[in-house]
Amino acid sequence: MDGLEPISLDDNQTLQAIGILADVLDGVDGPGGLDTVLVSKALRQVIATKSQPAFEFATRAFNTLDADVRRQVAETADQAAHDSVELRARVGGFLATSAKAPTGGPATPAQATSFLNALNLRNRRRSPPSE
């Protein structure tokens, strides 16, 4: 296919990159906006089907876009991908940190939090009256 290496449509990172490209295409305004929406839909079809013919169709459709639009979409998608990787790294670091142990020793029933108080009040309201 035009000298491009075949890509694996079973690779999650490839599918995420295609999704980012489709999202960027959805955001294009101005002349050629309808064309970019059609290419976006073709890319989403690739994600849904993981089909090589669908990928080839989407590639041909993308190549029909105006060169300036393709260039702008590529730059925006590249930045969006970098932002996504950076966010994933920050979230991954956040999720990997262990919870801090509470200071001041173990909690006692007298140290109930507002959340626990609210739960206790809710349970009391739901309880049937005692006979």
Query: Is 19 a residue whose pLDDT tops 70?
Result: yes
Q: Are 10 and 50 in contact (CB under 8 A)?
A: yes
Locate the domains of the chain by residue range. 12-96
Q: Tell me, what's the pLDDT at 1?
A: 41
Per-chain mean pLDDT for the chain: 76
Q: Which residue has the higher pLDDT, 92 or 45?
A: 45
| Amino acid type, 7 | I
Cα gap 4→71, rounded to integer Å: 18
In sequence order, the 6+-apart residues with CB closer than 8 A to the CB of 58 are 18, 39, 42, 43, 45, 46
pLDDT exceeds cutoff 50 at 123? no
Pairwise CA distance, residues 60 & 45, whole Å: 14
The pLDDT assigned to 85 comes to 82
The model carries a pTM of 0.61
